[in-house]
Structure 1
Amino acid sequence: MIRVLLADDEAMVRAGVRAILTSGGETEVVAEAGDGREAVELARAHRPDVALLDIRMPCLDGLAAAEEIVRTVPGTAVAMLTTFSEQAYVARALGGGATGFLLKSGDPYELIAGVRAVAGGAAFLSPRVARYVIDGLGGSDGRLGREAAARARVAELSPREREVLGLVGTGLSNPEIAARLHLVEGTVKAYVSAVLDRLGVRNRVQAAIVAYEAGLVR
């Protein structure tokens, strides 16, 4: 059972999201918050598998709440669920440690898949958000410099670490990588931790971006 903390300042939205998440029988909403500060407190108290946060909330916005939860509740994965898909929001969320960014306008099955993915240790971006990220990587003047830097960072990894990074870049979870490489899950977890540390990134989304820039993922 995936345990979820749901934070949104609109009770009707929380009710709708809760109904979607619990419809499949594999997700339980263990706590609900109406503002960011309450979300942080409830995350510390309940230590859910996933904290699903709106961006615009009173007291403490969802982005700041996400950063605080990532910092103080390391066992909880954070995903944003919002109507706002501006690149600045996406960049801050991913830079702050969120591993999911979902849009309220998306398909309900996308919401379920996203929560399942981040709970399993993978990253998940709504297709529209993923397009923003890819366009941002490919469209700026510094693209070639970033690609060269990414290739240099990846070259320092062992062949197995590069293989694991490539699979992280495709969005696979640790169990899925373990099955693909015929390894035990604990070994994959150790490889992923080592890759994040050696690349100097905070989470799987940032690692996936490095994999993309280095040409491991197309």
Structure 2
Amino acid sequence: MIRVMIVDDQRPARMGFALMVAKDCELQVTVQAENGQAALDILASLQAAGKPLPDVILMDVRMPVMDGIDATAAIKQQYPNIRILILTTYDQDDYAFGVLGAGASGFLLKDVHTTDLCRAIHSVYNGDAILTPRITAEVIRRGIPKTQAETEQAELLARFATLGRRELEVASLVSEGLSNAEIAERLSIQPDSAKKTVSRILAKLVVRERVNIAVLWYKAGMDK
């Protein structure tokens, strides 16, 4: 059972997402919060009581007291194993990049269908990054300017130079927002092989989150 937390300042929205999540028998909403600070307080209480923390958090962006971007950054720092999936009505690049830069594993619009939402929760739980297809590349291109300092770009290129041919292929597809299953289909390999390759890439690039592969890919100018 995948434990899910919902963080949104609108009660109807929390109820709606809870009903959507309940459609999947492998998912369970265990706790809800009305803003980022409340979410942090609840997580601290759960940890202090020795109770299980959520595996995946559905996080709104615009909220009073503490917004989703600051909350995501704080949660990832204190609870790095929790995956955070951003749900917002805003698809502007600055919002999207803000949550990715804070450590979110995915970004979806609030009009997402139930099936896609549940699939996204499973995906981020399993280590995939979820980005709305129409903004995947633009989020990173506009949010992260190409590295200007030659020494910094050379350092990034050197990190990618440690990857093998297949690893570079997979890194390129990750930067496009493809899941492990989609990468496996594109390259005609097993999904488990794609997952293991992504794990090796993360280790070689010395990053924790899958989305950071894409971030470094564009910063290094590898998409040219």
In the alignment, residue 31 of structure 2 is paired with which amino acid? A
- The alpha-carbon deviation at position 188 of structure 1 amounts to 5.2
SS in 1 for 2:19: helix
SS in 2 for 1:81: strand
In the alignment, residue 17 of structure 1 is paired with which amino acid? F
TM-score (norm 1): 0.77
Q: Quick one: distance in 1 between partners of 2:191 and 2:198?
A: 13
Question: Who is 1:87 aligned against?
Answer: 93
Question: Who is 2:62 aligned against?
Answer: 56
Range moving further from structure 2, 104-113 or 12-21: 104-113
- The alpha-carbon deviation at position 105 of structure 1 amounts to 2.2
Question: Who is 2:49 aligned against?
Answer: none
Identify the match of residue 203 of structure 2 among 162, 182, 194: 194
Listed as ranges, the matches of 1:119-158 within 5 Å are 119-130=125-136, 132-133=138-139, 136=142, 142=146, 151-158=157-164
Range moving further from structure 2, 56-65 or 108-117: 108-117
Identify the match of residue 105 of structure 1 among 111, 130, 139: 111
SS in 1 for 2:136: helix
* Gap regions ≥5 residues in structure 2: 47-51
- The alpha-carbon deviation at position 96 of structure 1 amounts to 1.0
Range moving further from structure 2, 63-72 or 21-30: 21-30
Q: Quick one: distance in 1 between partners of 2:204 and 2:75?
A: 23
Q: Quick one: distance in 1 between partners of 2:35 and 2:21?
A: 20
Tell me how large the CA RMSD over aligned residues is: 3.3
Question: Who is 1:171 aligned against?
Answer: 178
Question: Who is 1:214 aligned against?
Answer: 222
Q: Quick one: distance in 2 between partners of 1:184 and 1:108?
A: 26
Q: Quick one: distance in 2 between partners of 1:35 and 1:23?
A: 24
CA contact (8 A) 1:165 1:195 kept: no
- The alpha-carbon deviation at position 108 of structure 1 amounts to 2.9
- The alpha-carbon deviation at position 5 of structure 1 amounts to 0.7
Question: Who is 1:11 aligned against?
Answer: 11
- Give percent identity, aligned residues only: 32
